[in-house]
Amino acid sequence: MKSCFAGITDPGLLRTVNQDDYYIDPDGRFFIVADGMGGHAGGQEASKIATEAIKTYLNKDWNSQTPSDELLEQAIYQANQAILNDQQTHPERSDMGTTAVVVMFRQDQCWFSHVGDSRLYRFRNSKLEKITEDHTWVARAVKLGELTAKQARMHPWRHVLSQCLGRKDLPKVDVYPIEVKLCDRLLLCSDGLTEELSDELIASSLQESSSIDQALVILVEAAKEQGGRDNITVVIVEIGERMKGVG
């Protein structure tokens, strides 16, 4: 089975600027989604800086002896530092930052890391599993039992991040392996998708689609039908034989 992967980004219905960015490695080695913040110019720049820094670092050290988890961890830190450096050069963008979610296939293993509330899902056997845990105030409140999941979806602080790239106090970045099987679909997305669509609607959209290209269109259009209040970015990776041994 041949592996497939594709991505799409859409400004949504209310935003005049798309502050999301994404990157798909042509060889299917790694995938990135970033969602910028900090004003129109700042957010747009932050997501692009992060995506470019991660891509550059992974390409540069891909064939090194560095363990895969360390390689991905350092790529995230490089992105954080690149944004900090740009903030110093451009003080008008001093408050910019971005989320990031990255999936990497290297040495017969799949790894992921994320900062912020951009998410990674795994769709297998018609079931959708959220792999990442949002770095937000409300996600922590739900975990502590202070809010229900239903309350969190409507809470006025639901967009307040507890972590993002572009901060000197960025905590330790976690990198985890993830098991993948043939025909699994991995979905990376910005919160422009998950703000509008429940996990159940995302799962049904993936179930209804016969190809990942169709799935991308269905998901984005569904998010816009629900309001499309933010930029929407989705990357889908369908696991095939080619993924085994990538890197």
Q: Which residues, at least 6 apart from 31, have a Cβ–Cβ distance to it below 8 Å?
A: 5, 7, 22, 23, 24, 25, 102, 103, 104, 186, 188, 235, 237
- In whole angstroms, give the CA distance from residue 224 to residue 232: 9
Q: Mean of the pLDDT values across residues 8-32?
A: 96
**DSSP strand E in 97-243: where?**
97-98, 100-106, 109-115, 119-124, 127-130, 175-177, 185-189, 232-238
Cβ atoms of 138 and 158 within 8 Å: the answer is: yes
* Amino acid sitting at position 110: C
Domain CATH for 195: 3.60.40.10
* Structure-token match 């990376």, residue found: 188
What pLDDT digit, counting tens, does each position of 213-240 carry?
999 999 999 999 999 999 999 999 999 9
Could you tell me where the DSSP H helices lie in the chain? 40-61, 68-89, 137-143, 149-154, 191-194, 199-208, 212-225
Smallest CA-to-CA distance from 160 within 169, 152, 170, 150 is with 152
Q: Is residue 46 part of a domain?
A: yes
What pLDDT digit, counting tens, does each position of 144-174 carry?
666 667 666 666 666 778 899 999 999 899 9
- Whether 207 shows a pLDDT value over 80: the answer reads yes
Domain membership of residue 87 as a residue range: 2-129+162-237
Smallest CA-to-CA distance from 63 within 111, 29, 31, 102 is with 29
Q: What is the DSSP letter of 150?
A: H
Q: Which residues, at least 6 apart from 108, have a Cβ–Cβ distance to it below 8 Å?
A: 244, 245
For residue 179, what pLDDT band results from cuts at 50, 70 and 90?
Answer: very high
Average per-residue pLDDT for the chain: 92
Q: Is residue 114 part of a domain?
A: yes
Q: Is residue 152 part of a domain?
A: no
* Amino acid sitting at position 191: D
Q: Is residue 138 part of a domain?
A: no
Smallest CA-to-CA distance from 236 within 24, 72, 10, 1 is with 24
pLDDT at 247: 56
Say if pTM beats, i.e. exceeds, 0.85.
yes
Cβ atoms of 235 and 22 within 8 Å: the answer is: yes
pLDDT at 24: 98
Q: Is residue 242 part of a domain?
A: no
Q: Is residue 145 part of a domain?
A: no
Q: Is residue 137 part of a domain?
A: no
What pLDDT digit, counting tens, does each position of 61-91 carry?
999 999 999 999 999 999 999 999 999 999 9
Number of domains present in the structure of the chain: 1
Cβ atoms of 54 and 114 within 8 Å: the answer is: no
Q: Is residue 136 part of a domain?
A: no
